[in-house]
Structure 1
């Protein structure tokens, strides 16, 4: 069944169109591949393929000394001074960066500066990397000296004085109130009792200097972007002390601050908004993600995606990292409720890669979650088509043409048209091609299917099947 839909009059859309057009973004909002938990040698081997698919940046998992085969062990640093973990060592990391750079792809590094590894189960001190690791260094002196980034690995990096105090509560404290900024930023991330949690670093001069040295060495190897894990749990003072003007010069920095919504939600107002204004860094666009979940959810309306930034429900374009899935959502039980239906996730990807705001990030894993949904996503046919549309429409402003509860149709100047229909029934959309500046006698070919629209008159009918997206690119 097809439902005919008459376009909304121009005056009705004027405000939304103006707001979207005004929300300009950096001229090169290139797609980031999150090669989650990939070995560095694997990324190196696939460098040319990644470039050919249209990615311009690759975010890799944390690179430092860490042990344990589980994915989450990469987020428990033992020592910044060497790269040595199951994903590879310093040499592997450098070879990967060089291989990506050779094909025009940048390397982004995932950074964990809030805490060190939870090793209370095997030792009761706060000396890192600990006697066991230092003994390993001493036993293999030549090798570890060859992969040392900075400093002297014959001695320790941090001790008890480099971690947050415990107030007057008699011992390390786990976060108990995630709405309390002080609790979240000064106490420990813990699992269930009796887990003592992840030792929380204090931003004293020594800690900051070591973290800056680590970042500078990664920059020296060619890293051009940093994702700051658990940024919600760090003070903005700490973030700004580490990411000073020298470290930030020539790099893209964005943080992970998970919220359930945008302006008006306590998490946004207490954590994300102060972070954005105090640091000037980018961040995951969780406000927009909340709008996507609302729009595609049962009873939701695509109206929510017309101009979310105008109401504080999407981050400013020059600070937004946009997505339909992050690694925390499928891999942590507490976030799995945010998983979208697979078809809705496909439609959300079309919106994220079709719009002109933010830097899209695509997550591709090795089935760490067991869902088997994101294995080799990076090279999936629909993702390839979306990246092609995104790259070809860079620099072309977005204007919404039509929308209702089921559908949104927008264009990127004359260069492309995106239609997303979340409902079961197909939709016809009549477009005034003269008013909307779509070119005549040119093919607009869908990058997701074999559909081609050939425009020859003022009024042209676009059709979007049920539960599908179309991304027509002008040839």
Structure 2
């Protein structure tokens, strides 16, 4: 088990323009674009049991979420959260988070409240079980014996295939060998993630015809259950050929697909240029907007300027809105020593959330865990923090409207969403008066704009020049009443 743990930790450390619609890709483009038509907030219910999500369905809907991303649904074992990212068998859902029946019940409960389900998926590798066996037959004899001993139950939760036999063998994996050059896509995509000290590493899947067919069967089965989105874990470690072979136009129809490719920045950054840019060019999928995340950390940090957030996409530091999933934290960052430097202070993260929830562009995601990172429960119940709830209210009210920047400097950014709302963010330690010429601004005079974060703050414009006061280290999200 030690090798499995080391390899998982290494996996964690390692992870971590516009769509052109032509007649040749009409179905692909249409299915992608339809999934992007509404930039509705995703709750990342990280490592939540499916029954727990089901029980909270009404609360989740009441808070304004329209989508929930849940942790991987397949056969996996082990109580640690990272064990969910070591798949044993795609043919059944059976893990400490629940089984296929729990997954179905969760989907139906959320669907009845108008909330969709996204599934986190792992297609690059299988569980490292070299500590107990040398063969690459998956799920292996121990699991097959468990299936046989309770065949009625396991066949009742089967997604596809024949549970009396392994579905992958030695010929379905790349040769053993550890990644040694993390800047070389060939190394990263063809060799194994290893934990050192002789660890054999996570068996790296060869996307041959048989493998691709099994993975397509899995995705289609989840889609048949009602899943409407897929987060592709460790997409950096998959070739774009593999990704496109699995995500056929039929599977993508009506489904939002986005990849996890961690970068240190946008255009000009090696990790972006070598991995994320080729992925965006070769697929029509969305991706985590790590370029914007890096830009927010820079702008909000010491020596940064809020001017950096006026239009970061104009110089390659944010993804095109229709292909972006925006965030202030993901599960890889606090749970991985190699990426913890990207954690923002609590106040900076609050301001970043106001920015991604207030701006036009991207699908925002709110992360909420069970303190898997041991950070003092910082993100436990984050999904229902009062400030987050206020941000979701603003986001839902202005969704689909345009965005116009009214003022910016090193300390502040003030922008409006047509006439419906105004967002003000002040990163500095002193309050800021911001005077704006409201003539021809499109804002409605003699109407209250009330802050969804602090309902005592109200703006009522009654003259050409209006002063907006932004308190220190605070955000305002004024919504027209």
Is residue 69 from structure 1 mapped to residue 76 from structure 2 by the alignment?
no
Query: Which residue pairs with 1:468 in the alignment?
Result: 474
141, 153, 156: which one pairs with 1:143? 153
Query: Which residue pairs with 1:454 in the alignment?
Result: 460
- Name the SS for the 2:333 alignment partner: helix
Query: How far apart are the structure 2 equivalents of 1:56 and 1:461?
Result: 35
Give the CA deviation at 1:435: 2.8
Is residue 428 from structure 1 mapped to residue 438 from structure 2 by the alignment?
no
Query: Which residue pairs with 1:364 in the alignment?
Result: 368
Give the CA deviation at 1:436: 1.6
The CA RMSD over aligned residues, in Å, is 0.9
Q: For each residue in 1:201-239, what CA deviation from the matched residue of structure 2 results, as whole angstroms up to 9, or x when unmatched? A: 000011000000001111111000000000000000000
Is residue 399 from structure 1 mapped to residue 409 from structure 2 by the alignment?
no
Query: Which residue pairs with 1:60 in the alignment?
Result: 70
Query: Which residue pairs with 1:127 in the alignment?
Result: 137
Query: How far apart are the structure 2 equivalents of 1:459 and 1:309?
Result: 30
Alignment of 1:250-329 (within 5 A): 250-329=254-333
Query: Which residue pairs with 1:442 in the alignment?
Result: 447
Structure 2 segments unaligned to the other structure (5+ residues):
1-34
Is residue 185 from structure 1 mapped to residue 189 from structure 2 by the alignment?
yes
235, 240, 265: which one pairs with 1:236? 240
- Name the SS for the 2:281 alignment partner: helix
**Does the 8 Å CA contact 1:444/1:453 hold for their aligned counterparts?**
yes
Give the CA deviation at 1:192: 2.9
- Name the SS for the 1:153 alignment partner: coil
The verdict on how the C-alpha distance between 1:26 and 1:136 changes in structure 2, with shifts beyond 3 A counting, is closer
Query: How far apart are the structure 2 equivalents of 1:208 and 1:49?
Result: 38
Query: Which residue pairs with 1:375 in the alignment?
Result: 380
Query: How far apart are the structure 1 equivalents of 2:198 and 2:434?
Result: 59
Query: How far apart are the structure 2 equivalents of 1:262 and 1:442?
Result: 40
Query: How far apart are the structure 1 equivalents of 2:288 and 2:192?
Result: 22
The verdict on how the C-alpha distance between 1:439 and 1:26 changes in structure 2, with shifts beyond 3 A counting, is farther
Query: How far apart are the structure 2 equivalents of 1:244 and 1:437?
Result: 44
Query: How far apart are the structure 1 equivalents of 2:262 and 2:221?
Result: 28
Is residue 355 from structure 1 mapped to residue 365 from structure 2 by the alignment?
no
Q: For each residue in 1:284-326, what CA deviation from the matched residue of structure 2 results, as whole angstroms up to 9, or x when unmatched? A: 0000000011001111111110110000100011100000000
Give the CA deviation at 1:195: 2.0
33, 36, 40: which one pairs with 1:30? 40
**Does the 8 Å CA contact 2:258/2:287 hold for their aligned counterparts?**
yes
Query: How far apart are the structure 2 equivalents of 1:384 and 1:246?
Result: 36
Query: How far apart are the structure 2 equivalents of 1:410 and 1:82?
Result: 48
Query: How far apart are the structure 2 equivalents of 1:101 and 1:71?
Result: 26
Query: How far apart are the structure 2 equivalents of 1:277 and 1:48?
Result: 39
